[in-house]
Amino acid sequence: MSNKGNTRKRPPPTPHPAATPSPQMKHQAAMEEEELDEDIFLEETLLQYEEEDSQRRAFAERLAKWKRPALSTSYLSQSENIVFQQLEIDYVVGDSHKGLLPSSSAALLEWVLMISPVHQILEGRMREANRNNAVPKFVRRIELVQRRSIMHYQQQNSQPFLKIVVALPTMVTTCRGILDRGIQIDGLGMKSFMTYESNVLFALRFMIDCNIVGGNWIEVPHGKYKKTAENRSYCQLQFDCLHAPEGEFSKMAPFRILSFDIECAGRKGLFPEPSHDPVIQIANLVTLQGEDQPFVRNVMTLKSCSPIVGVDVMSFDTENEVLLAWKDFIREVDPDIIIGYNICKFDLPYLIQLPKESYLQLLGYTVTKKSFYLVHSYLGFVSHTFLLRPAMQRDHKLSSYSLNSVSAHFLNEQKEDVHHSIISDLQNGNSETRRRLAVYCLKDAYLPQRLLDKLMFVYNYVEMARVTGVPISFLLSRGQSIKVLSQLLRKAKQKNLVIPNVKQAGSEQGTYEGATGLNTKVAARALVLEARAGFYEKPIATLDFASLYPSIMMAYNLCYCTLVTPEDARKLNLPPECVNKTPSGEIFVKSNLQKEAKDPLVKAVLDGRQLALKISANSVYGFTGATIGQLPCLEISSSVTSYGRQMIEHTKKLVEDKFTVVGGYEHNAEVIYGDTDSVMVQFGVSSVEAAMNLGREAADFISGTFIKFEKVYYPYLLISKKRYAGLYWTNPTKFDKMDTKGIETVRRDNCLLVKNLGLTKTGDDYEVKAAHVELAERMRKRDAATAPNVGDRVPYVIIKAAKGAKPLLRIFEPILKNASKELLQGSHTRSISISTPSNSGIMKFAKKQLTCIGCKALISNSDHTLCSHCKGREAELYCKSVANVADLEELFGKLWTQCQECQGSLHQDVLCTRFSVVLSLLIASLRIGSLVLISAYLLSRDCPIFYRRKKAQKDMAEARFHVWLEMFIDEIEPKHSIGDRRQAVTDVFSEFFNISLKVFCR
């Protein structure tokens, strides 16, 4: 079986430039044929478009300074080793270079338990399946190898396996299908075969075979690579190579990271659409990994734009030119990593959907829909697109993932919120307003860069890639199981093990269940002790199990290869002292029997890089338990959970037996709750410190290794399983935080107000049927442009719950007996309404009168604001009212200066508002009161102070009014007539709201 196609990775040409690693297998494939694969895009329409007018040349000069440093000649003459850091891997099936005979062979292999005459049949079937493919020979080679399956304990060391090498990656699937279905072999009849490791992704396969992990350094010795004849790309180097040893580099290459953001003109009420709304600005920042400041800062604008300090502003007359300039820029700068916030959901699709599809064809970008990275065939580099938003969503639990709230959370920096409609206005203004927009755009581009640095995404992900051995893109776009699989495969390769291809989890699962005769699903997550719900006013000590699952796996030697099937157990007749029977009934051999058979993953976990390992260690458990995963083994996971449960119960027993009054302690200890990884104990002591001491004692007593004493909750509210809250103490003097799990306050579907109120007043809930969906729908009706998109978080408050939903009760029930009686019944729930007819009958005789500010009594003399009775309280009433003004003034000042801060300018008005909307809302809020408060909060979605700022402004206007009113008490200028007063009063209001105040002035 031959194979061909040269794997061509076009990795980042870092200053230590790039190469194209191709797999190097011990068996080298001969390559005779040429093949093109349809995965890859090699259109020939490339750079026809090189009409250089003078303008572009001038522009090119501008760009030139950002070019990468030229390569040394030694690279060009291929006399030097090439060292580079691998970021991304991809392959192209193309011509192999005859000049370098042993060079390219795709790593494609497959071991099949079968015998050799099968070759012919296989070849025939393959040909049928791939009729339209012009490959003369599909199955290159079949060879016999000695391997062992990872599943189940076996006494013999290895069995013969067949390794089939096929010509193209895509053929693996076909081949597997054929074998699964079974083939007719003379003398043996129809027989189907179990395939091993046939579902491994090609890129991963290659990396594993060559022992390359994600993000590692690769050295290509000179002479082994060759410059490609036809220059298909703008990549600085492109060649084939064959040698890929692992380098001992742990540093990070100085990647060029491009952060960009585009702005497009929008129309009122509509979300920008590529077919109508042009791209008006593109801001770019390029930073070398590891440096603080970007070395390129520029913004490309449609129409003129005033200069910005430290930023290269390039203005163009048409959208076309902007985009072309951007293309040139990217080509010149040649970034290794492209980042942006939400660029995959907005910016990139927007560029792709532009009506003149020419742009992106021109640019040559193709965004593969599923894997979020750009493959740029003409420009010839693979830039890894780092999507901050998905990464954020994966790694951090926030209540909102908008760029603003994310940056507020991590960087303590707010960004201005400029509404789509304002963007158009700014664009249509003069060069100054466009400059304003450009500044905003730049900030949008800069924040992702800051976030990337602050959260060390590059480091973390590269480390993770190194540990798990998968390319970085897998980390972003794929789940945990691929990482575990990669590690498993690597370890298995070292140990000569092969992993069976468990095709359909459902069916396989059935057989396992049948075989073991146990319902394995029971064990899945049943690791919780019954909770004794209630409110505990004494400190609760928490004993934690440190990395419970990996520890259990290690301790009891639970692994794929130590599992003994019941039949085998009977057959092999293992002595009972050599096996462990787990509480769930599975049998595993002990480690003395199977030397070196500890779970290889867990072993790897023990020595290595902290963060990455911790995450993957915990996922091992999930991997073995996932029924639709790559290699489920419920025996392992159920054993682990059952051991875990056993341990928790054991702990409970030990604690409750030891810490008793009989045993010399003050109180009887009581385990009130046990969760997956912790046990909550009430020792009965009332001080935090005493509880801590006892907790430590208990941890030492039980076992030093597994159990750690970590924290004390005091007070502690336990509602039910997995739902509890309490103040979290790690030192006896001061609590660290309020820790809440599973109850309303921690759920992110609550507004900040509710969260801050904490335990006592959690007033809204999510349970009401799809309230958020309803809300989103209404918002969409109101204004399509601000309506939430899929994945956005929408804050809301339920004012009126549906019948039967009583979220309050759920919270108070543990604390108050008869909660529903006390809370929801009684006089405080009664609302008394007195109807006041406004224009009928008796109201014709009613007239409005002034009341005293102090006591609400009617005043007949309209020149005063206080009744004769309250006259002596002037000073006191004035103090109160003026204190109110003072508070508001302070708030006003703080809020507006904060907004200036966010905006980053003292001399320009704060733009960050939806002025018209908010003004109308405030007018309305006077009429209907607090309802609008909620809407205003919704509109200002992310800026916590936005509403308060507006409110402060409004309150000021009102408060001033009061003070002035009081000033009239004294008749500083007694000549004021009633008419003047009314004027003065209405002035105050009409300036902000146009509402006449008939109530105050007759």
Partner 1 sequence: MAVAPREVDSGNVLQRKQSMYISLDESFEIRKEMYRGQQYSQIYFARLHLMRTLLYSLLPTWKPHLPSCTVLGLEEGKECIIVGTLYKHMKLKPSILDEYSKERSSSPLVKPHNFMHSDDYLVLEDESGRVKLRGSVLLPSVYVTGIVVALHGKETGAGDFMVEDILEAGLPPQIKLPLNSGEDKYVVFVSGLSVGSSSANPLHFQLFVDHITGHLGDEKEQGIAAQIVQVVIAGNSVEFPRGLLNGQNLGSKDQSRLSEPIKELDILLTQVAAGIPFDIMPGTNDPANFSLPQQPLHRCLFPGSAAYNTFRSCTNPHSFELDNVRFLGTSGQNIDDLAKYSDGKSKLEFLERTLRWRHIAPTAPNTLGCYPFTDRDPFFIENCPHVYFVGNQEKYETSLIEGSDGQVVRLICIPKFAETGIAVVLNLRNLECHALSFGTHFSS
- Site residues, partner 1 (CB under 8 A): 293, 297, 306-311, 408-409, 412, 414, 727, 735-738, 752, 756, 758, 873-876, 878-880, 882-887, 889-890, 892-898, 900-901, 904-910, 944-945, 953, 956-957, 960, 963, 966-967, 969-970, 972, 987-988, 991-992
CB of 885 to partner 1, least distance (A): 5
The distance from CA 389 to its chain's CA centroid, rounded to whole angstroms, is: 6
Nearer to partner 1, 737 or 769 (CB): 737
Nearer to partner 1, 120 or 897 (CB): 897
Nearer to partner 1, 722 or 880 (CB): 880
Q: For residues 203 and 901, give the distance between their C-alpha atoms in angstroms, rounded to a whole number.
A: 48
CB of 302 to partner 1, least distance (A): 20
Q: For residues 571 and 564, give the distance between their C-alpha atoms in angstroms, rounded to a whole number.
A: 10
- Write the DSSP symbol of residue 343: I
Q: What is the dihedral of CA 491, 495, 496, 498, to 10 degrees?
A: -40
Q: Which residues contact 98 (CB under 8 A, 6 or more apart)?
A: none
3-state secondary structure of 626: coil
- Write the DSSP symbol of residue 48: G
Amino acid at the residue 786: T
What stretches of 442-527 adopt beta strand conformation (E)?
497-498
Nearest to 525, CA basis, from 367, 638, 647, 650: 638
Place of tokens 């203005």: 315
Nearer to partner 1, 123 or 966 (CB): 966
CB of 899 to partner 1, least distance (A): 8
Length of the chain: 1002
3-state secondary structure of 417: coil
* CA within 13 Å, CB half, 393: 14
3-state secondary structure of 960: helix
CB of 242 to partner 1, least distance (A): 44
Amino acid at the residue 613: L
Q: For residues 80 and 103, give the distance between their C-alpha atoms in angstroms, rounded to a whole number.
A: 18
CB of 523 to partner 1, least distance (A): 37
Q: For residues 569 and 517, give the distance between their C-alpha atoms in angstroms, rounded to a whole number.
A: 14
- Look at strands 563-564 and 540-545 and give their pairing: unpaired
Nearest to 650, CA basis, from 602, 711, 698: 698
Q: Taking a C-beta distance cutoff of 8 angstroms, is the pair 602, 554 a contact?
A: yes
Q: For residues 295 and 313, give the distance between their C-alpha atoms in angstroms, rounded to a whole number.
A: 15
Nearer to partner 1, 657 or 987 (CB): 987
- Write the DSSP symbol of residue 344: I
Nearest to 192, CA basis, from 181, 203, 200: 181
Cα Rg of the chain, angstroms: 36
CB of 297 to partner 1, least distance (A): 8
- Spatial strand order of the sheet with 337-340 comes to 312-316, 296-302, 279-288, 256-264, 337-340, 381-387, 374-376, 365-367
* Residues facing 382 on adjacent strands: 375
Nearer to partner 1, 649 or 863 (CB): 863
- Cα 270-273-279 angle, rounded to 5 deg: 115
Q: Taking a C-beta distance cutoff of 8 angstroms, is the pair 300, 316 a contact?
A: yes
CB of 159 to partner 1, least distance (A): 60
**Where is 712: in which H helix or E strand?**
strand 707-720
Nearer to partner 1, 508 or 889 (CB): 889
**Where is 817: in which H helix or E strand?**
none
CB of 586 to partner 1, least distance (A): 45
Q: For residues 486 and 475, give the distance between their C-alpha atoms in angstroms, rounded to a whole number.
A: 12
CB of 252 to partner 1, least distance (A): 23
Nearer to partner 1, 300 or 305 (CB): 305
* Residues facing 160 on adjacent strands: 146
CB of 498 to partner 1, least distance (A): 52
Burial code (b: 16+ CB inside 10 Å, e: under 16) for 534-571 equals ebbebbbbbbbbebbbbbbbbbbbbbbbbbbbeebeee
3-state secondary structure of 281: strand
Q: For residues 285 and 341, give the distance between their C-alpha atoms in angstroms, rounded to a whole number.
A: 13
Q: Taking a C-beta distance cutoff of 8 angstroms, is the pair 701, 708 a contact?
A: no
Nearest to 122, CA basis, from 166, 187, 161, 170: 166
- Look at strands 312-316 and 374-376 and give their pairing: unpaired
Tokens matching residue 973? 């200028």
Nearest to 343, CA basis, from 472, 447, 474, 480: 447
Q: For residues 704 and 701, give the distance between their C-alpha atoms in angstroms, rounded to a whole number.
A: 8
CB count in 10 Å sphere of residue 190: 9
